[in-house]
Structure 1
Amino acid sequence: MALLPPDLPGLTRKVVARYHGASKFSRHFVRGKMLTDPATPFVLQLAATSGGFGEVTDLGCGRGQIGMSLLTAGLATRVQGLDLDPGKITDAVRAAAGLPAGFGVADLCQAEVPAADTVVIFDVLLQLPVTAQRSLLGRIAAAARHRIVIRAFDPDCGWRSGVGVAMERLGCLLRRDGSSFQPLPLNDLARPLRMAGFAISVSPCWGWTPLPNVMLVAERAAP
């Protein structure tokens, strides 16, 4: 049964209010991601159209705003988030007080992926070595009961890919955190999911940005 997507400004106010104990930077970050990142309305619309995401695993969850948005909007029943950054996980844990949610620090190159109806992963795979990406995709396919939502970088998207590659490589140099930049072609991302029985669709999700970001949605047929 399809649901109505939430009013984004109203939902943003409710979610940001949960971060009252976080730093001013964190609160502004959460507000900005919800109001300006084109992935936010996409995932909320998809969840509403799908009748809700059920139990959600959010990999690379950061401060947890995607999971918090889904729970606050009534589009998820429970959220489990994993991220490598302890400070962001601390913000997420505080914000989730009283909600059916759990957040933990984990290295996605090795971590077990908690089983869920829907697994969400945004902007993470391209930062991992290729072998780690393939391993993680296999674990995601095994953990997701119904749906996988990946925000991916399309390396074959013309001028957008050229701009995105330059920006990502500059970011790696500035951060000096050891992160890599190795985006797999979309067919390589989709292949292990198809082999696991998922049907794949890909939609542009760059919004106002010059980046080649797309949403890859993998869904199992209803039994």
Structure 2
Amino acid sequence: MPEAAVPYPSLQPAALPRLIGAVAARYAGASRHTRHYVGTKLRRDPATEAILTLAVELGGFGTVADLGCGRGQLALLLLLAGGADSVLGMDRNGPALAEAQAAAEGLPARFTAADLATAPLPDCDTLLLVDVLYQLPLAAQRALLDRMVAAARRRIVIRAFDPDLGWRSRCGFVMEWLNRAGRGDLRRAAIEPMKLPALRAVLEQAGFRVSITPCWGGMPLPNVLLLAEKGSA
């Protein structure tokens, strides 16, 4: 029987490994690649602890829309930790969504196929966008942000690619090119991350307070975590 959600009021040293193990166990029926990917991604990606810690500090994310959710492991981690009340995951990868839905048995989670460049977004407390925005052409990035500020009732959380961090940004561009080459995906649009001042301006003009912190851990990458909350300072 899959483990039910257990609220964690704070992240004790042993809590995160236990949570990751509980999430990974839910993918026991998935493909071998997915079984390896889920646990490895959650353990190694600094976004895992950063986003879960943020959810704890804010008293939970409430209802969450996870845009570009992939296999859904971060959404399930939030649910098992009590960091989200419910999750709607949206992605174009049908097989990954099917594995996510199977892993979410018994949890308030739903995963649906959607093209984020055009799909309507659900009203929710928190919109989560991790490593997705820079994958889109610049015009589509702005269009998605416009739809996000209209849909998010309380906050938006983005892990973004900062193109202005010197050697870190150069490493990021190389890593993204290598990832695309490995997937045979080099015919996609050029990699054009929105500059952070422009991204911040879109959110602040829509009435959000914005804070940006590093989110690269020990990796040579230009990843930052952006929190945008509604309301005045």
TM-score by length of 2: 0.91
CA contact (8 A) 1:128 1:179 kept: no
Query: Given the alignment of the two structures, is residue 32 of structure 1 paired with residue 40 of structure 2, yes or no?
Result: yes
**Is this contact kept in 2: 1:201–1:216, CA < 8 A?**
yes
Distance 1:191 1:72 in 2: 34
Cα distance between partner residues in 2 of 1:79 and 1:129: 26
TM alignment of 1:114-153, pairs within 5 A? 114-153=122-161
1:201 paired residue number:
211
Q: How does 1:1-223 map to 2 (within 5 A)?
A: 3-5=9-11, 7-177=15-185, 178-180=187-189, 181-221=191-231
Alpha carbons of structure 1 residues 142 and 19: separation in structure 2 relative to 1, 3 Å: same
1:179 deviates by 3.1
- Following superposition, the deviation at residue 171 of structure 1 comes to 2.8
Q: Which runs of 5+ in 2 are unaligned?
A: 1-7
Letter paired with 1:221: G
| 3-state DSSP of counterpart to 1:208 | coil
> How much does 1:221 deviate?
2.5
**Kept in 2: contact 1:114–1:143 (CA 8 A):** yes
C-alpha distance in 2, partners of 1:166/1:11?
32
State TM-score, norm by structure 1. Answer: 0.95
Q: Do the aligned partners of 1:3 and 1:52 also contact (CA within 8 Å) in 2?
A: no
Unmatched 5+ residue regions in structure 1?
none
Cα distance between partner residues in 2 of 1:88 and 1:63: 5
Distance 1:92 1:86 in 2: 10
The aligned length equals 222
| Contact in 1 for aligned 2:207/2:232 (Cα 8 Å) | no
- Displacement of 1:222 after TM fit? 7.7
| % identical aligned pairs | 51
Q: Which moved more, 1:162-171 or 1:9-18?
A: 162-171
State the distance in 1 between where 2:106 and 2:209 align: 35
Q: Secondary structure at the match of 2:54?
A: helix
Per the TM alignment, residue 151 of structure 1 is displaced from its structure 2 partner at its CA by 0.4
Superposed CA offset, 1:182-218 (max 9, x none)? 1110111122111111000000001121111000110
Closer, same or farther: CA 222–68 of 1 in aligned 2, 3 Å:
farther
Structural RMSD (CA) = 1.6
How many Å separate the matches in 1 of 2:76 and 2:182?
Answer: 30
Aligned mates of 2:130, 2:214 — CA distance in 1: 14
Using the TM superposition, name which of 39-48 and 176-185 deviates more: 176-185
Q: What secondary structure does 2:129 align onto?
A: strand
